[in-house]
């Protein structure tokens, strides 16, 4: 099936199953929560902080970095500090990282956005949303307050964690050599990204990047149904060309290999990832090419499909971790570990990354256990 990886034997295992005492006395990773928010979202921010503190951070005390294109007011800052069990920093985003860049015609871009509003594309007519998506696609990891960090955990207003997270996911990702972690993968609204895949795959092709197993999660090689073709042609027809667009094959949504985007993406309001993935030359080149196409204005490209296709091109399955053990909800979509595919496991886990000496016996048991773990077909690497 498109959107489902067929690599069951090699797909990674959950870091932890069952309960354990949080390993609070062990070293931390160099990570932080990153929260982009506006003053008016304070209530939602507090809800998210209460949840992550209760289920994780009151043991682990990872710092928070709050970012805003505007200025956080004093009551926002004071309230947030009250709910944090760790250090908090507040940063304002420089205009060079937010808003229309010089090289784009602002009037044309605004018109393109207004037209997406007319077509009732979700958030399509909201200029600030386009800026937010572009910021999360190409800039957040360049914010000076994140310079000192190697890892980030993205937190949004109005999210909820259901289950205790009694181990340190940063440390585990480091130990298992993971780059990007997610907990929900869903399908994108295709009218928001009619040409995203063409540009993304052009990057892949022009740079002669070999196809990895992860690409299967996003690329659909089957023939699309007839009405799909009509739909996407319809959507792209009246998109004004506001910026230099490189010549590309003119079959909407399809690349030169005859692949189509299946719309699957990691839902990026939750992410735990290495910042150096985004800071790499490859990701920067990818972002520049996407950005210069004008798609952040002429269409409503979300940072989620941008991050996902970049991962699909530049990473492999082994670099990705599915946090199936995290109970997580945002708006109407949630992931519940009890419903996650696979066996229900009750074993006490091996949990510590660096202290191999102390945990040697546990590690050995753990390896033996996982060697016999029967990986189910729908291992969760696929779209909800």
DSSP state of 80: H
Which of 156, 216, 259, 291 is close enough to bind Mn ion by CB under 5 A? 156
Region from 77-85, 128-136, 143-151, 368-376 binding ligand GDP, contact rule CB under 6 A: 128-136
* Cα 279 to the center of its chain, rounded Å: 15
Q: Residue 203: which residues within 8 A CB-CB, separation 6 or more?
A: 209, 285, 286, 289, 290, 313
Residue 71 known to be catalytic: no
Measured between alpha carbons, how far is 46 from 48 in angstroms, rounded to an integer?
5
Task: Dig out the tokens for 328 from the structure.
Answer: 């997580």
What, of ligand GDP, Mn ion, none, does residue 348 touch, CB below 5 to 8 Å by kind?
Answer: none
Cα 90-95-99 angle, rounded to 5 deg: 115
124 contacts ligand GDP (rule: CB under 6 A): no
Scan residues 211-270 and list those touching ligand GDP (CB under 6 A). Answer: 269
Scan residues 149-168 and list those touching ligand GDP (CB under 6 A). Answer: 156-157
Measured between alpha carbons, how far is 57 from 203 in angstroms, rounded to an integer?
39
Residue at shortest CB range from ligand GDP? 128
Residue 338's alpha-carbon distances to 8, 10, 343, 348, in angstroms, are 20, 23, 10, 17
Region from 2-10, 53-61, 125-133, 282-290 binding ligand GDP, contact rule CB under 6 A: 125-133
42 contacts ligand GDP (rule: CB under 6 A): no
73 contacts ligand GDP (rule: CB under 6 A): no
What, of Mn ion, ligand GDP, none, does residue 188 touch, CB below 5 to 8 Å by kind?
Answer: none
Residue at shortest CB range from Mn ion? 156
36 contacts ligand GDP (rule: CB under 6 A): yes
271 contacts ligand GDP (rule: CB under 6 A): no
128 contacts ligand GDP (rule: CB under 6 A): yes
One of 188, 191, 271, 299 is an active-site residue; which one?
271
Beta strand residue intervals within the chain, DSSP E: 31-36, 64-68, 88-92, 151-154, 159-161, 180-182, 185-187, 219-220, 260-261, 264-266, 271-274, 320-322, 328-330, 333-335
CB 3 within 8 A of CB 215: no
Contact residues for ligand GDP (CB under 6 A)? 36-38, 41, 68-69, 128-129, 132, 156-157, 269
Catalytic residues: 271
């Amino acid at each position: 099936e498109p959107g489902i990886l067929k690599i069951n034997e090699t797909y990674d295992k959950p870091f932890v199953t069952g309960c354990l005492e949080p390993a609070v006395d062990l070293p931390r990773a160099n990570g932080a929560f990153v929260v982009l928010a506006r003053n008016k979202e304070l209530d939602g921010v507090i809800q998210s902080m209460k949840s992550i503190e209760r289920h994780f951070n009151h043991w682990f005390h990872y710092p928070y970095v709050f970012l805003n294109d505007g200025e956080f007011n004093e009551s926002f800052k004071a309230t947030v500090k009250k709910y944090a069990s760790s250090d908090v920093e507040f940063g304002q985003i420089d205009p060079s990282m937010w808003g229309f860049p010089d090289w784009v015609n602002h009037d044309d871009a605004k018109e393109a956005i207004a037209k997406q509003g007319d077509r009732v594309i979700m958030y399509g007519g909201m200029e600030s949303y386009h800026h937010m998506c572009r910021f999360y696609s190409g800039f957040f990891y360049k914010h000076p307050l994140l310079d000192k960090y190697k890892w980030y955990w993205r937190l949004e207003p109005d999210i909820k964690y259901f289950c205790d997270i009694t181990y340190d996911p940063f440390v585990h990702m480091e130990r298992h050599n993971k780059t990007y972690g997610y907990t929900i993968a869903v399908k994108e609204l295709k009218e928001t990204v009619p040409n995203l895949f063409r540009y993304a795959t052009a990057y892949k092709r022009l740079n002669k990047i070999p196809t990895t197993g992860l690409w299967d999660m996003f690329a659909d090689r089957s023939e699309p149904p007839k009405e799909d073709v009509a739909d996407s042609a319809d959507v792209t027809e009246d998109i004004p060309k506001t910026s230099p667009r490189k010549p590309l094959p003119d079959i909407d949504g399809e690349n030169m290999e005859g692949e189509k985007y299946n719309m699957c993406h990691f839902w990026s309001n939750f992410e735990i990832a290495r910042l150096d993935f985004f800071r790499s030359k490859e990701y920067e080149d990818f972002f520049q090419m996407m950005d210069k196409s004008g798609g952040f204005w002429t269409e409503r490209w979300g940072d989620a499909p941008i991050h996902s296709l970049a991962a699909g091109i530049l990473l492999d399955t082994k670099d990705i971790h599915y946090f199936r053990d995290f109970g997580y909800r945002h708006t109407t979509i949630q992931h519940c570990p009890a419903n996650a595919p696979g066996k229900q496991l009750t074993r006490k886990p091996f949990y510590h990354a660096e202290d191999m000496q102390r945990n040697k016996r546990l590690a050995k048991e753990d390896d033996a256990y996982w060697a016999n773990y029967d990986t189910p077909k729908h291992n969760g690497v696929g779209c909800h």
